[in-house]
Chains A and B, each alone.
Chain A
Amino acid sequence: MAVSTDPIDGTLIKEQFPLLSRDVHGKKIVYLDSAATSQKPQSVLASMDDYYRTINSNVHRGVYMIAEEATNRMEIARALVRDFIGARSSSEIIFTKNATESLNLVAQSWGRANLSAGDVVVLSHMEHHANIVPWHMLVAEIGIELRWIPLDNEGRLDLSELDALLDGAKVLSVTAMSNVLGTMNPVRTLTDAARKAGAISIIDGCQSVPHSATNVQELGADFLAFSGHKMCGPTGIGVLYGREELLEAMPPFLGGGEMIRDVRLDGFTTNDLPWKFEAGTPPIAEIIGLGAAIEWLNGVGMDNVRAHEIALTEYTMTTLHERFGDRIHIHGPSNPLERGGVFSFDFDGLHPHDISQVLDQHAVCVRAGHHCAKPLMKLLGIGATARASVYVYNDTADIDALADALDATGAFFTL
C-alpha cells in the first residue's frame, strides 16, 4: 500500500529492543507512544550496565585508571552528539537533564542577561509547554512581550506575517516538529528571518532530532534543545547545543562543582565550555547511554529512519482513513512529507481517555491527553486527543493492530 520504499524492516529492528517482546494483558505489546518516550535497544542497556559494572567512578576528578576511563567515555559521547548534529566543537554541547532543562537554561541564562522590559520573544501556537512556560516566567520577572506565530487550517505555521511578528524581536523560539500535529516546520526559513530581524533563534528539536538527520549549520539555529530518552537513549539526559560565542558570553545557570575554575571567599570564576554549564556530578551512565543510542542510530542511518517513518506515515493515514472514513479525524498536515509519525486523532466522538483505556486492553499503547500543549488544544477547540506515534522499530503490523483495536473500541462504546 505504501508508495515510498521503506529501507527498514521494523519487524527485524524490534528484536533489538527487549521491552518490545513483552506481553501486556496476555498479548504482545504494540508500542505506539514513542513521541512520549522511545524504547531502548539492547546495546544502550548494555552500555549503561557496563559502566556501572566496570568503570563506575566520578568524572573529571580522579587520577586513577577507571576514573580516567569514565571521563573518556563521557567525552566520547559528547563528541558523538557533536557529530550527530553537525556542531563545530564539543564546547557547544551542554549536557542537561532533558530538553525542558535545556530551554530553561537558555531562557534563564541568556534571557535574563539580554532581555529587558518590553523586549519581544516570538513563539508559535504549536509549542510544548516547555517552550512556553520559561518565557511566561520572564514575562512575570522582566516584563518581556510574547508574540505568537499562528497556524493554518492543516496545522502548519502560517508565515504570512512572520516579518511583522519578528520586527524588533530579540528571540525566536519554535519547535522543529509538533508533538501533537506532527508538523515539520521550515526551520531554515525561520532562522533566516530571525537573523535578518536581529533576533537569536532557539529550536526545540525534541521531536525532530530522533527522527531525521540534523545539522545545526544547515538549520542556522543559535540554540537547539533535545532529549536523550526520545532517541533510544535513557531518561535523565538532554542536550543543549549553543553557538560558542553566545555560550561564552552567557552567565552560568546552576552553580556548584565542575562548573568552576576557582572559588574564593569573595567570588568564583567559571570553568571553560561546556563544563561551565554542567554543575555537579553529571548523569554519567545516562551520557554513556546516549552515546550508545547515537551509535545505534548511526548504524541504522538517520536518512533510513526518516524514510521508514514516511512510509509508515503513509500506511497509517491510508489504513485509518480507509477503515474508518469520517469516523476518524487525524490532526495536522495530510502530506506525509510535511509531517513526522505522530498521529493525534479524534475517533467516533469518544474521549481520548476511553479510547486509550480500551486500546490498552488490546496491548496497544497510545497517549491520551493534552500532550503538554494546552494553548494548541484550545486553538483546535478540543480538550484532549488520543495520539499514536511511531519510530524505527514499528511496522505495518503495529498499525493494523491499532486499527483492529479501534474497531473494538468503537463497538464497545456503541449502543
Chain B
Amino acid sequence: MPGLEDLYREIILDHYRNPRNRGELETPPAHRVEGFNPLCGDEIVLYLELDADGRVSDIRISGQGCSISQSSASMMSAAVKGKTIAEIDDLTRAFKAMMSIHENSLEGAETTEPIEAPDVKLGDLEALRGVVKFPVRIKCATLAWNTLAQGIDEASA
C-alpha cells in the first residue's frame, strides 16, 4: 500500500515551501494563461516570455493550490526556463508519460500503445513519480504542464 512518503517526497515539500519563479510578469511582452482544476478549485496563472529564438526566456507562476500542484508548477518552471519550445515539448511528453501510467489503466486502456517517452532527463521532476499511486492527485501534478502547453500554443500562434 502506498504511504504518504511516496507522495510527499522531501524535494516536493521543499518546492512547496519555497516555490521557484513565483510572481507575475508584465503583459505584454509576457503572455498570461490560466489553468483550473475544477475538481479541487486549484488555479494556476502562468506568465511566459518567449524570445526571438523560441526559447522561454522567463516564466512566473501565481495562483493557489495544493502542495502537489504548487510544487509541480515550481519544478516545471525551473525545468523549462531557457529551453526551446521543442525541448519543452519533449520534456512535457516525458513527464506525461511518467504520469499517464495510471491514467491509462484507469481508463481500461492497457491494450493501447504506451505513450512513447522521449529520452529526456526529468531530474527533480522524478520526485513526482509517486503521484501515480494516488490517482486523484495526478490532475494536480499535470495542471501546470497542461497550462504551459496551452500558453505556448497561444504565445507562439
> A: which residues have CB within 8 A of B?
25, 350-354, 357-358, 361, 368-370, 374, 377, 383-384, 412-413, 415
How many angstroms between the C-alpha atoms of A312 and B39 in the bound complex?
29
Q: List 17 A-B contacts (CB under 8 A).
A: A351-B42, A352-B40, A353-B65, A353-B137, A354-B66, A354-B67, A354-B68, A361-B3, A361-B4, A369-B41, A377-B41, A383-B40, A384-B40, A384-B41, A384-B42, A413-B67, A415-B17
B140 touches A353 (CB 8 A): yes
Whether A369 contacts B64 by the Cβ 8 Å rule is: no
Known: A357-B7, A369-B41, A377-B41. A351 touches B13 (CB 8 A): no
Within the complex, the shortest CB–CB distance from B114 to chain A, in Å, comes to 28
Report the minimal beta-carbon distance from A92 to chain B, rounded to whole angstroms. 36
- Complex Cα spacing A383 to B42, Å: 6
The CA of A22 and the CA of B102, in the complex, are separated in Å by 26
Q: A352-B40, A374-B41 are in contact. Are A412 and B64 (CB under 8 A)?
A: no
B157 part of interface (Cβ distance < 8 Å): no
Q: Is the CB of A351 within 8 A of B67?
A: yes
Contacts of B66 in A (CB 8 A): 351-354
Chain A residues, CB < 8 A from B7? 357
A370 and B40 form a contact (CB under 8 A): yes
The residue on A at minimum CB distance from B70 is A351
**Chain B residues near A384 (CB-CB < 8 A):** 40-42
Is B65 touching A351 in the complex (CB atoms < 8 A)?
Answer: yes
Q: Which of A352, A353, A384 has the most C-beta atoms of chain B within 10 angstroms of its own C-beta?
A: A353
Q: Which of the listed residues A25, A369, A377, A415 has the most CB atoms from chain B within 10 Å of its own CB?
A: A369
Binding site for A on B (CB under 8 A): 1, 3-4, 7-8, 13, 17, 39-43, 64-68, 70, 134, 137, 140
Contact between chains at B134 and A370 (CB < 8 Å)? no
Cβ of A8 to closest chain B Cβ, rounded Å: 33
What CA separation (Å) do A203 and B92 show in the bound complex?
48
CB distance from B86 to the nearest CB of A (A): 33
Residues of A within 8 A of B64 (CB): 351, 383
What is the distance, in angstroms, from A114's C-beta to the closest C-beta of chain B? 32
The count of A-to-B residue pairs whose CB atoms sit within 8 angstroms is: 50
Across-interface contacts of B1 in A (CB, < 8 A): 25
Bound-state CA distance A353–B69 (Å) is: 10
How far is A351 from B17 in the complex, measured between Cα atoms in Å?
12
Contact A357 B134 (CB under 8 A): yes
Q: Beyond the given A383-B41, A415-B17, could you list 19 further A-B residue pairs with CB under 8 A, ordered by the A residue number?
A: A351-B42, A352-B40, A353-B40, A353-B137, A354-B66, A354-B67, A357-B4, A357-B134, A361-B3, A361-B4, A369-B40, A370-B41, A383-B40, A383-B42, A383-B43, A383-B65, A384-B40, A384-B42, A412-B4
Instruction: Name the contact of A412 in the complex, choosing from B8, B42, B43 (C-beta under 8 A).
Output: B8
Bound CA span A412–B140, Å: 20
B8: which A residues are within 8 A, CB to CB? Answer: 412
Residues of chain B within 8 A of A374, CB atoms compared? 41
Q: How far, in whole Å, are A121 and B64 apart by their CA atoms in the complex?
A: 33
| Nearest CB of A to B82, in Å | 29
User: In whole angstroms, what is the CA distance A370 to B134 when docked?
Assistant: 20
A193 vs B140: C-alpha distance when bound (angstroms): 45
What residues of A have a CB within 8 angstroms of the CB of B137 in the complex?
A: 353, 357
Which residue from B4, B40, B68, B134 sits with its C-beta under 8 Å from A368?
B40
In angstroms, Cα B4 to Cα A370, docked, is 24
CB contacts (< 8 Å) of A383 on chain B: these are 40-43, 64-65
Residue of B nearest to A25 (CB): B1
Q: In the bound complex, how far is the Cα of B3 from the Cα of A358, in angstroms?
A: 10
Chain B residues in 8 Å Cβ range of A368: 40
Which partner residue on chain A sits nearest B3 by CB separation? A361
A354 surroundings in chain B (CB, below 8 A): 66-68
The answer for the CA separation of A383 and B137 in the assembled complex, in Å, is 16
Question: Please, how many angstroms separate the alpha-carbon atoms of A353 and B137 in the complex?
Answer: 9
Question: Quick check: A413 and B43 within 8 Å, CB to CB?
Answer: no
A369-B40, A369-B41, A415-B17 in contact; A353/B68 too (CB < 8 A)?
Answer: yes
- In the complex the two chains form, what is the Cα distance from A354 to B68 in whole Å? 8
Residues of chain B contacted by A25 (CB below 8 angstroms): 1
In angstroms, Cα B68 to Cα A155, docked, is: 30
**Distance to closest chain A CB from B43 (angstroms):** 6
Q: Given the complex, which residues of A lie within 8 Å of B140, measured CB to CB?
A: 353
Alpha-carbon separation in the docked complex, A299 to B7 (Å): 45
A361 to B137, CA, bound (A): 15
A374 CA to B134 CA in the complex, in Å? 25
Q: Which of B4, B7, B13, B43 has the largest count of A CB atoms less than 10 A from its CB? A: B4
Flag if A413 contacts B65 (CB, 8 Å): no
In the docked arrangement, what's the CA distance between A361 and B5, Å? Answer: 11
- With contacts A383-B64, A383-B65 known, is A369 near B39, CB below 8 A? yes
- For A352, the chain B residues whose CB sits under 8 A away are 40, 66
Taking the nearest CB of chain A, how far is it from the CB of B130, in angstroms? 12
In the complex, chain A residues whose CB is within 8 Å of the CB of B41: 369-370, 374, 377, 383-384
